[in-house]
Amino acid sequence: MKIFSKTPSLLVIADDLSLAESLNTAMGNSCEVFLCSSVDVGLKRMETEELCAVLINLGMRGLVAEEAIAKIKAAHGEVPILGFIPVSSPQVQALPVPAVIDGCHVVQMPLGWMELRQLLEEHVPTAHGPVIPVTPTSTPSLIPMMPVSPSPMPGSMSRGPALPAGLPPKVEGPPSTIIPFPSAEGIPASVTPEDGDVPLERSIAATFLRDGALLMEHANRFEATTTDGQRISGDIMRVSPHFVVCEVLNPLQVLMPGWQTNEAVVTLARHQAYRGPARLSKAMNTGRSLICEWTLQGPWKEQPSSTFAAKFSQDQVLAPFLERMRILQRISQVFKSVVAEVASLLDEAKQGLDRIEISLQSQPDDTRNTALRSLMPQLFEGMGPAINEVFERFERASDGIPPELDAEYHSLVRQHLHPYMMCSPFIHHIYSKPLGYAGDYGALQKLLGEPFEGHTLFAKVLNAWLVLNPAGEAYRTRLKTILEALHDQAELCHERGEEFRVLSIGCGAANEVVRFAANDDLCNNTNFTLVDFSADTLAFAKTNVEEAMREHWRLMRASYVKMSVQGLILDEGRMARKGVQSFGPVAKAGGYDFIYCTGLYDYFSDRVTRRLTQSMYNMLAPGGRLLVCNFTPANPIRHFMKYVLDWDLKHRTAEQMLALAPTGSKPEQLRITMSPGDVEAYLHVTKPL
């Protein structure tokens, strides 16, 4: 094993910043990840670095695989190279995968961090052994996927009696499905932690929790598309060769027995075991979720058989499970108690609201709807303080959660709170991430719409509690802050008789642009450049803005650019180095009068945000203004967002925001403002004339 004298570097040649962020998550502190958009730029960047591996996207437009691999090998002969082609790339058909090109293995893969870890685990050695324990190919360690029973009542979360020594836990139902799981055997026995390092036992536990919990969660899934276009997805509770029972947590799902689908997919242990026709034979609403039984009408790819368990010794099957149980005992009893208290309050509220709703069913539709509209604010006013109080205790109990137990705390919250909370359309949208990430334009649009959204009274009240929370109000305040800055800068340009040039990075739905067009005549002299990495988001923003321009007869101009943050940074850097007026579709030597980025800093590290801030400052025209914002630790639901919504943001104080200021800026150029309740901090930077 090669021993590095310093933290090794992983060179990623790709055009997608999300890939680098995924790798940073996957690698932790084991190696430093550098993302470059071309082979030449990457090799020049790595001349002074100690390179441990190269990951290259061979599906990039204009890249010739053989030439790229030859260049890397010429510069770094002994460094492992792993090539990949994303599933969505048109090069998938042109270059068959898996393949080997000049010693470089080429695979087809999605860009999830679990997949990246698995692909790189044998390619990135470090001074402390492999990045993650390598699963032995001869005697794999396995963990059983136990059939999932319906979520227990809150009272069942307290610690139960210990298992009798030597006896496996009793499992009711069909034979379990097993999945591979990395064991501690992959860590060399000779490796010992140095001073200040995480103890080896804790490191193994952390790896077990990160990988094992994610593998166990949602490893057994049922997905289908009905003939009327509905998408159905749920966790499998029971499975047999002839039927599947799954639990669906979707507030908008209405399922009727007898529905037929030709596209049912059964995933067992993260492997597709069945794909074919199925019919919904039973559907039961438990009040918290839908329990559905599907009759399978086609052949299995992989039969759920009892022979699985017979292939492995009892120790191989039980050891990882018992280790998980041992680690589970380390979860704070205070946290368990608070989660039980939250679940109890939600259960009581749901039962009470269901009774009110049932009592109104006998009234005519018009009378019932009028009564519900008048009841809603009263119910919210009465229930809001109780929900706030219990989640304040949840926030306090979540402080100081050990990072190595993060996955188990997530799992506990999902098990006991999701069956209540997924009925809220807003909560379900954020957690399910239809575009692949939390905080997409669809989620933010819900913060501007009707707060009392949902199929039931309980769903409506719960949805309104989150939408009207100070964190939701911070987004609405953000729009007002941007509009004020747009007006002020537009006035300055109007007085000088110049066009007002604006750049929005991470534009989302461009709601502030729509409001600017609707309410401010200065928009007619404005040229917007709207940048986002998502094509779906840009399409929605374009429709949104063009509709506002038509409705209000505006002459405002707008262009839409699909580009990642990393691409924008590289664009500005290339322009500066080449000394040209413009290089890519965004950076221009003439600069912009106003640049704002108000939805991205919460997701990126200090290293990325500093580089982005500097690039934006460099693109400002003299007298131009830069505006960025970030959630602060004063966010009253920051742990709720992380553990319930799976929306983990990087919170920064006002002082930390000032530390991101561009190089060369002076104190008189910088200003910090706060949203109500200090939930968000805004950094304003003005470039001298």
Q: Higher confidence at residue 260 or residue 512?
A: 512
Q: Give residue 574's pLDDT.
A: 79
Q: 3-state class of 414 per DSSP?
A: helix
Q: Which of 116-130, 179-193, 275-289 has the lowest mean pLDDT?
A: 179-193
Phi, psi at residue 281, to the nearest 5°?
Answer: -95, -30
pLDDT of 239? 82
Contact 35, 62 (CB under 8 A): no
Contact indicator for 317, 178 with CB cutoff of 8 Å: yes
Q: In the predicted model, what is the mean pLDDT of residues 387-394?
A: 95
CATH classification (class only), 136-154+217-308: mainly beta
Whether residue 156 is predicted with pLDDT greater than 70 in this model: the reply is no
What is the DSSP annotation of 110-169? ---HHHHHHHHTTT-EETTEESSPPPPSSS--EEEEPPPPPPPPGGGGS--PPPPTTPPP
Residue 141, by phi and psi: left (phi above 0), alpha (psi -120 to 50) or beta? Answer: beta
Question: Which of the pair, 279 or 88, is modelled with greater confidence?
Answer: 279
Handedness of CA 658, 660, 664, 670 (dihedral sign): negative
**162: which residues sit within 8 A by CB, 6+ positions away?**
none
Alpha-carbon span 471 to 637, nearest angstrom: 7
**Is it the case that residue 195 has pLDDT exceeding 50?**
no
Contact 50, 5 (CB under 8 A): yes
Instruction: Please give the backbone phi and psi of residue 560, each rounded to the nearest 5 degrees, phi first.
Output: -125, 125
What's the confidence (pLDDT) of residue 219?
67
Contact 467, 451 (CB under 8 A): yes
Say if residue 121's pLDDT is above 70: no
Measured distance CA(29)–CA(10) in Å, rounded: 12
Q: Which sequence spans correspond to the domains of the chain? A: 9-130, 136-154+217-308, 330-468, 471-686
CB–CB of 89/63 below 8 Å? no
Question: How does DSSP classify residue 241?
Answer: S
Q: Which pair of tokens denotes residue 181?
A: 């799981």
| More confident call, 261 vs 110 | 261
List the one residue out of 425, 496, 145, 499 whose CA is nearest residue 304: 145
CA atoms 444, 450, 452, 453: torsion sign:
negative
Give pTM, 2 decimals.
Answer: 0.62
Measured in degrees and rounded to the nearest 5, phi and psi for residue 496 equal: -85, -5
Residue-wise pLDDT for 447-492, tens only, equals: 999 999 988 899 999 999 999 999 999 999 999 999 999 999 999 9
DSSP 447-507: TTS-SS-SSSHHHHHHHHHHHTSHHHHHHHHHHHHHHHHHHHHHHHHHHHT--EEEEEES-
All residues at 6 or more sequence positions from 376 whose CB lies less than 8 Å from its CB, including other chains: 452, 457, 460, 461, 464
Average pLDDT taken over every residue of the chain: 77
Q: Quick check: bond before 8 cis, omega within 30?
A: no
What percentage of the chain carries pLDDT values higher than 90?
Answer: 36
Q: Please give the Cα distance from 120 to 435 (Å, whole number).
A: 26
The reported pLDDT for the residue numbered 41 is 74
Averaged pLDDT for residues 421-442: 88
Lowest mean pLDDT among 63-67, 430-434, 624-628: 63-67
pLDDT in tens, 238-278: 887 788 888 888 766 667 777 888 889 998 876 788 999 89
- Lowest mean pLDDT: which of 234-238, 473-477, 656-660? 234-238
Question: Cα torsion at 581, 586, 592, 594 (round to 10°)?
Answer: -170
Q: Is the pLDDT of residue 657 over 90?
A: yes
Residue 496 pLDDT more than 90?
yes
Confidence band (pLDDT; 50, 70, 90) for 687? Answer: very high
- How far apart (Å, rounded) are the C-alpha atoms in residues 234 and 304? 18
The sign of the dihedral angle between the CA atoms of 411, 416, 419, 423 is negative
Residue 188 clears pLDDT 50, i.e. is over it: no
Distance CA 110, CA 19 (A): 10
For residue 23, give every residue at least 6 positions away whose Cβ sits within 8 Å of its Cβ, in sequence order, or none: 10, 12, 33, 55, 113, 116
Asked, colleague to colleague, whether 9-130 and 471-686 share their fold, the answer is yes
pLDDT-based confidence at 597, cuts 50/70/90? very high
At 297, list the tokens.
């009408």
Q: How confident is the model at residue 129 (pLDDT cuts 50, 70, 90)?
A: very low
CATH superfamily of 9-130: Response regulator (3.40.50.2300)
pLDDT of residue 605: 86
Cα torsion 431, 437, 439, 443: sign: negative
DSSP character for 668?
G
Residues 376-389 have a mean pLDDT of: 91
Assigned token pair, 513: 């642009």
Residue 367 is predicted with a pLDDT of 84
Would the pLDDT of 662 be above 70? yes
Out of 3.40.50.300, 3.30.360.10, 3.40.640.10, 3.40.50.150, the CATH code matching 471-686 is 3.40.50.150
What is the model's pLDDT at position 167?
33
Higher pLDDT, 624 or 198: 624
Could you tell me which residue, 593 or 157, shows the higher pLDDT? 593
- Backbone phi and psi for residue 309, each to the nearest 5 degrees, phi listed first: -65, -25
| 314 has a pLDDT exceeding 60 | no
Q: How confident is the model at residue 76 (pLDDT cuts 50, 70, 90)?
A: confident
Range scoring the smallest mean pLDDT among 3-7, 35-39, 416-420, 582-586: 3-7
Q: Is the pLDDT of residue 26 over 70?
A: no
Q: Reply yes or no on whether the pLDDT at 177 is more than 60.
A: no
- Residue pLDDT, tens place only, 533-568: 889 999 999 999 999 999 999 999 999 999 988 888
Q: Return the pLDDT at 214.
A: 45
Average pLDDT over residues 72-87: 78
Which of 307-311, 509-513, 605-609 shows the lowest mean pLDDT across its residues? 307-311
- Between 134-148, 317-331, 463-477, 536-550, the lowest mean confidence (pLDDT) is in 134-148
Instruction: Decide: helix, strand or coil at residue 199.
Output: coil
Q: What pLDDT is stored for residue 322 in this prediction?
A: 67
> Contact, 145 vs 178, CB < 8 A?
yes
User: Is the model more confident about 88 or about 386?
Assistant: 386
Nearby residues of 595 by Cβ (< 8 Å), 6 or more positions away:
502, 503, 504, 505, 616, 619, 620, 624, 625, 626, 627
Q: What is the SS3 assignment for 278-335?
A: EEEEEEEECCCCEEEEEEECCCECCCCCCHHHHCCCHHHHHHHHHHHHHHHCCCCHHH
Which stretch, 77-91, 329-343, 513-527, has highest mean pLDDT? 513-527
pLDDT-based confidence at residue 17 (cuts at 50, 70, 90): low
What share of the chain in percent tops pLDDT 70?
71
Residue 576 to residue 570: CA distance in whole angstroms = 10
Lowest mean pLDDT among 112-126, 130-144, 224-238, 356-370: 130-144
Does pLDDT of 640 surpass 90?
yes
Q: Which residue has the tokens 């990642």?
A: 564
